[in-house]
Chains A and B, each alone.
Chain A
Amino acid sequence: MQHSRVTGIGERPALRIVLVACTMVLMVLILVMPLAVVLVEALRRGIGSYAEGISSPDAWDAIRLTVLVAAIAVPLNTVFGLAAAWCLTRYRFAGRAALMALTALPFSVSPVISGLVWVLLFGLQGWFGPWLRAHDVQIIFALPGIVLATVFVTVPFVVRQVIPIMQARGDDEELAALTLGASGWQIFRRITLPRVRWGVLNGVLLCNARAMGEFGAVSVVSGHIRGLTVTMPLHIEILYNDYNLPAAFAMASLLAAMALVTLGVKALLERRQTAGV
């Protein structure tokens, strides 16, 4: 028996090759091919038409709005995610389980409903609609509504990534720091945050990807006003409905690239981490 060379299961070359091969096949089937379809359709009429598709004034308005919405929604959910993970893993209190369930709830809400809930609240026929109209405050069919719908859909990402890590790590080190006289903020910054940073980063990336790509919920609260409340996914729908498929897919590929570019940042950070520490 040559167990001396084996350092874990799944390390035998044959098994390894089989598993990697399966992974590759699944990756191509499930992930690469849909992306390839997007790129092929986007480049159907050549690179010039691709550039045209993503550089029209309407496209730029959509890109700006999508970046703005993500820039508001992602930090909000990150701050909330850290606070909630700390609160839900470091203390025991009545109602903790209920709060825990609430953090995941938006995942089980259909995108159609995620938009509708805001209409039911702030729409003219909704609970607060008449008051808002009387005070001339526009929430839905304007930026606040789009932000709210996006925040709702992406609430769980950061908190759900951080909670398991905080749970697994336990709080021994934090308590030790406390006995040494550290303040709460110091404990959080020096001990907790470094421990959970990869989880936070993962959560932020997922949150950002979803915030930029959300279609259904935003569609309900946007009002689709050209150049004003049209985000990138909605602009893609508009192009698609104009039978301008190359431009629609060009926009889609750009959106995917923007959402995934953050992964490049992650890869860089990881490399620095392994090289430096």
Chain B
Amino acid sequence: MSRANAQRRAARRGVLPGFGLTFGITTTYLTLIVLIPIAGLVLRAAGLGPLGVWQVISAPRALAAFRVSFVIAALATLANMPIGLLLAWTMVRYRFPGRRMLDALVDLPLALPTSVAGVALTALYVDDGWLGGPLAALGLKIAFTPLGIWVALLFVGLPYVVRTVQPVLMELDRRTEEAALTLGARPGQVFARVVLPPLLPALLAGAGLAFARAVGEYGSVIFIAGNRPGVSEIVPLLIVGKLEQYDYAAAAALGATMLLAALLILLALSAVQSRAVRLWMRTVAA
């Protein structure tokens, strides 16, 4: 143990070679590809002045759009967590016909252009579609309602959860589980106390990515949403509307605000990650 600690301390001092090269590549690349473009966006928004930015983002229609975008993205992410966990679990733990197909299909939402996904989902959930028909008979309208946005965001975010949880699940040491089971623990207890805690950080990280992606999603949503102001109008659509009026600064202000909000949520999520694990351990222990 102390040897490992000593080594880790050595690493902190940078004993492994390659720091200069990898640090150089990382900072140069991130600066060119991410930092400068984002800085340009923020600068453009800043041209409006604090009051101007506030006016853009606090307009009633903008506030309603922010609510639609963030609330529905959150609800879709909440649904994606158990679904993603289940899919990852069965794929890693069980052998069943269709497993490889599932493994391939999980990436479909990434591979399909978002506009195609939007068109396909709309065709599926419209009142006379394969799924929309039966659901309409139950009195549930999906396409052209906020529920449609939820369906689209669920689709778009799923691979992020599955692909983040899957590798960690593969690495999980099953001996602890087996030990707990042989000691007479019930499977439910083992899942909650032994399996879930190490998975939780990955699950939350995946959820964070899915959420971030869902908040900004445009292509798949506009086809299925109905886009009614205040009801099913998302922020990216408002941005397009601003651009249509050549109001680049207002578009940049909306974009930068969304980015900032998503970033804060991501940071908050990573902050609670470690705490969540500890809290979880305590709750299930009690």
Contacts and interface: CB of A to CB of B under 8 A. Distances in A.
**Direct touch of chains A and B (CB < 8 A):** yes
Contacts of A109: 38, 216, 255, 259
Chain B contact residues: over half helix, strand or loop, or mixed? helix
Given A164-B168, A175-B7, A178-B15, A116 B255 contact: yes
A33 B130 contact: yes
Interface residues of B, number: 107
Most buried by B among A31, A152, A237: A31
Nearest to A121: B40
A184 B17 contact: yes
Interface in B84-104: 86-87, 89-91, 93-94, 96, 98, 100, 102-104
A103 B38 CA distance: 13
A213 B11 contact: no
B25 A233 contact: no
B262 interface: yes
B17 A183 contact: yes
A118 B37 contact: yes
A156 B205 CA distance: 13
A103 B205 CA distance: 13
B26 A80 contact: yes
Chain A contact residues: over half helix, strand or loop, or mixed? helix
A139 to B, nearest CB: 12
Interface of A: 1, 3-4, 6-10, 12, 15-16, 19-20, 22-24, 26-27, 29-35, 37-38, 41, 79-80, 83-84, 86-88, 90-93, 99, 101-113, 116-118, 120-121, 125-127, 148, 151-152, 155-156, 160-161, 164-165, 168, 170-172, 174-175, 178, 183-184, 187-188, 198-199, 202, 205-206, 209-210, 212-216, 232-233, 236-237, 240, 248-249, 252, 255-256, 259-260, 263-264, 267
Interface of B: 4, 7-8, 10-12, 14-19, 21-23, 25-27, 29-30, 33-38, 40-41, 44, 83, 86-87, 89-91, 93-94, 96, 98, 100, 102-117, 119-121, 123-124, 130-131, 154-155, 158-159, 163-164, 167-168, 171, 174, 177-178, 181-182, 184, 187, 190-191, 195, 202, 205, 209, 212-213, 215-219, 235-236, 239-240, 243, 248, 251-252, 255, 258-259, 262-263, 266-267
